[in-house]
Structure 1
Amino acid sequence: MVFLEFPYDFELKELVKTFPGMDWNKKLKVWYIPYSDQRLTELIQFFKGKVWLDYSQFKKVSIPVEKIRNDLSPLDSGIGEEIIKFEQWMRNKRYSESSIKTYRDALSVFFRFLENKPITEVESSDLEKFNTEYIIAKRYSSSYQNQFVNAVKLFLVNSHNKKLNPEIISRPKKEKLLPNVLSKEEVKMILEAHKNIKHKAMLSLIYACGLRRSELLNLKIKDVDSKRRLLIVRQSKGKKDRIVPISDKIIELLRKYYKEFIPKCYLFEGKIMGGMYSEKSLESVLKQALTKSGISKPVTLHWLRHSYATHLLESGTDLRFIQEILGHKSSKTTEIYTHVSTKSLQNIKSPFDDL
């Protein structure tokens, strides 16, 4: 790994985050990327003319394995370079940075578990062993297990045209969890908690249009069509554009926000003019709203999206329209909200009442 250390500086931090493959280690509190000679050259070129990079003391150091992951061996540099090549292939294929990071981390853990077994010698039994002795033994979720299966299979096919036996790599059953939904009263308390109109507008827009966190942060001023009362969500999950209806009430709120903050590019900008608002700051906005409103539930931003969909269903909106508004590929995804809608359930009379 190559570690980057510097005194806290917001603009520099935002610059470092844009370098492909850069990640933050919470335990060691450093920015890092997997090491290779080519990667180091790319790093130097990236910062050239922007900031002085002091690599005069750059050397190999021994980091205690337990500080990184206490039960796995360090990753072999040769395998690390193969993963970097695969990472670049994914980037060229326009995979999202989130997917690239997930696959990269999964492959790193997998090969470290195998004690850097040569890639050409990896068999289906290795993945089965990893699944039993690592994922299941540590009680990781089925979705986490699926990520590893997807990452390893795609990597081996892409890098070495090597296919694993699909019968051995059985897919785990995915937990059928109901979405968390807030009442309209609770939503109102959260949205009215902030006096800061920017914070109020961000949370309100997530609920009013059923947006994902990334969709809100990527919105640009031109995406609000106030005349047609529409919001254009561009290239969201699945690389799809979609149109979402937006009410006069939220348009009026956005106009007040715009007059006060005058954003230049993104609808909601961070401290740097023209720069995107950060995910961490948005989560902090919600956390503050929960504290102010006195709601103790572990509410996340996605709860507002779930609540929007459920409240639409309860008000009589057709499920097909809800699917389009939320941008769901399958109607089965949208049908989950029928299980948390209370409109029909409240009309059912319990036989206990007749006793």
Structure 2
Amino acid sequence: MAVKIIQLERLIHQKQVRLLVRFGFDDYFKNLVQELEGALWSNTLKSWHVDDTDENLTKIYAIFKDKVDIDDTFLVPIVVVKISEEAAVMLNDFTLWLKSKRYSPNTIKTYTESIKSFLKFYHNKPIAEITNQDVITFNNEYILANNYSASFQNQVVNAIKLFFKTVENKMIDVDLVHRPKRPKLLPNVLSKGEVKAILDAPTNVKHKAMLSLIYSCGLRCGELINLKPNDIDSCRNIVVIRNGKGKKDRITPLSIKILDLLREYFKKYKPSTYLFEGQNKGEKYSDRSLQLVLKQCLRKTKITKPVALHWLRHSYATHLLESGTDLRYIQELLGHNSSKTTEIYTHVSTKNLQLIKSPFDDL
């Protein structure tokens, strides 16, 4: 009979140091680990985990002793680096400045997390002594060494520049930092048949209405869940998108078919504050829940592409272009500042490409 083994590991999960208890599928071990207070299962880690305390570690050894071999070779100490008190005060000032300038919550979170990682890297160095060379060193020894993405690299450098300009009143010359060229990635586009299959998949009228509205109006996920009932103007057949990306309002045409679907949804759910609400009345529907709805639709349709909600917006723009809509109108409908952003859809439109005859056909 094979000897059963559990593996203990210590790592940082969701910004906290956790004790992981790993083992193969076993109901008996599962029941044992659930005896630990606060034991949680993580789908990401594929493991049970608890708070990293001496008490929990002692309990784990006591519970599993004489029942299984315990592999604790990965149970190494983790040193959590904290930013200095000075840095914490300045980071708070920076956060307040971002809020006063009405930056979006997502941008504030991204910038503050970026600055925090930089300040942790130089936790022993006074902020006033940080120079351009320190930013270059951080770029090479932290960002590149950890193989972080080019977009993350640009985000961090931009955040550092803004932080020192607003809080420390010091100019950091980001041109001295080697910046990656942003890859010119084409948007992912679905065929009309694939879109129809996805939108036909939900049996729940709320789910159907949400996905259909994203595609029919080219909405971002955040724009959809922020919609309020009054934003649907059934008299003029338009949807008003308020405070979209870049703090801009815009309008987009409302399909008659979508209007009928929204009326059916409204009669059943009677939303109060937001057009699409979660389980609690008056609370907006979560983007995570909507992503799960899309995943269920993909399973039903057996579409194996890694479709994300934003693909529906890309598909809307591309299908408009292929049907002859002027690029300038598409730019307005999508809320793009620059026509260059919209022009990328010309690279994925197949309407003109299909007219080109391959020389292979003449062989």
Bin for the TM-score computed over the shorter chain: 0.7 to 0.9
For residue 332 of structure 1, the aligned residue among 332, 335, 340 is 340
Answer yes or no: is the 8 Å Cα contact 2:150–2:180 preserved in 1: yes
Aligned to 2:145: 137
Aligned to 2:197: 189
For residue 310 of structure 1, the aligned residue among 302, 318, 327 is 318
CA change 1:97–1:326 in 2 (3 A) is: same
Letter in 2 for 1:114: Y
> CA offset at residue 26 of structure 1?
2.8
Answer yes or no: is the 8 Å Cα contact 1:72–1:113 preserved in 2: no
Letter in 2 for 1:129: T
For residue 210 of structure 2, the aligned residue among 182, 202, 223 is 202
For residue 175 of structure 1, the aligned residue among 183, 191, 198 is 183
> CA offset at residue 81 of structure 1?
2.1
Report Cα offsets for 1:193-239 as digits up to 9, x if no partner: 11000000000000000000000000000000111110000010000
Distance in 1 separating the partners of 2:78 and 2:332: 46
Paired residue secondary structure (1:160):
coil
Distance in 1 separating the partners of 2:238 and 2:276: 17
Tell whether 2:234 aligns with 1:226. yes
> CA offset at residue 271 of structure 1?
1.1
Aligned to 2:101: 93
Worse-superposed segment, 85-94 or 133-142: 133-142
Report Cα offsets for 1:46-87 as digits up to 9, x if no partner: xxxxxxxxxxxxxxx99xxx99x9687322232122101210
Aligned pairs for 1:246-325 (under 5 A) are: 246-325=254-333
Answer yes or no: is the 8 Å Cα contact 1:79–1:116 preserved in 2: no
Letter in 1 for 2:305: K
Report Cα offsets for 1:158-195 as digits up to 9, x if no partner: 11111112431343211100000011111111111110
Aligned positions, number: 297
Name structure 2 gaps, 5 residues minimum.
1-12, 19-52, 55-73
Distance in 1 separating the partners of 2:358 and 2:144: 41
Aligned to 1:113: 121
> CA offset at residue 340 of structure 1?
0.4
Aligned to 2:6: none
Distance in 1 separating the partners of 2:200 and 2:246: 33
Name structure 1 gaps, 5 residues minimum.
1-24, 31-60
Distance in 2 separating the partners of 1:162 and 1:305: 40
TM-score (norm 1): 0.80
Aligned to 2:251: 243
For residue 26 of structure 1, the aligned residue among 11, 14, 17 is 14
CA change 1:208–1:71 in 2 (3 A) is: farther
> CA offset at residue 27 of structure 1?
5.9
Report Cα offsets for 1:286-305 as digits up to 9, x if no partner: 11111111111111000000
RMSD of Structure 2 on Structure 1 (CA):
2.1
Distance in 2 separating the partners of 1:70 and 1:107: 22
Answer yes or no: is the 8 Å Cα contact 2:17–2:78 preserved in 1: no
Distance in 1 separating the partners of 2:16 and 2:81: 17
Distance in 2 separating the partners of 1:72 and 1:154: 26
CA change 1:315–1:111 in 2 (3 A) is: same
Aligned to 1:161: 169
Aligned to 2:91: 83
> CA offset at residue 28 of structure 1?
3.7
Answer yes or no: is the 8 Å Cα contact 1:212–1:305 preserved in 2: yes
Report Cα offsets for 1:325-346 as digits up to 9, x if no partner: 0000000000000000011001
* Larger Rg over CA atoms: 2
Aligned-pair identity in percent equals 57
Aligned pairs for 1:21-60 (under 5 A) are: 26=14, 28=16
Tell whether 2:150 aligns with 1:150. no
CA change 1:239–1:212 in 2 (3 A) is: same
Answer yes or no: is the 8 Å Cα contact 1:231–1:244 preserved in 2: yes
CA change 1:171–1:74 in 2 (3 A) is: same
Answer yes or no: is the 8 Å Cα contact 1:72–1:112 preserved in 2: no
Aligned to 2:8: none
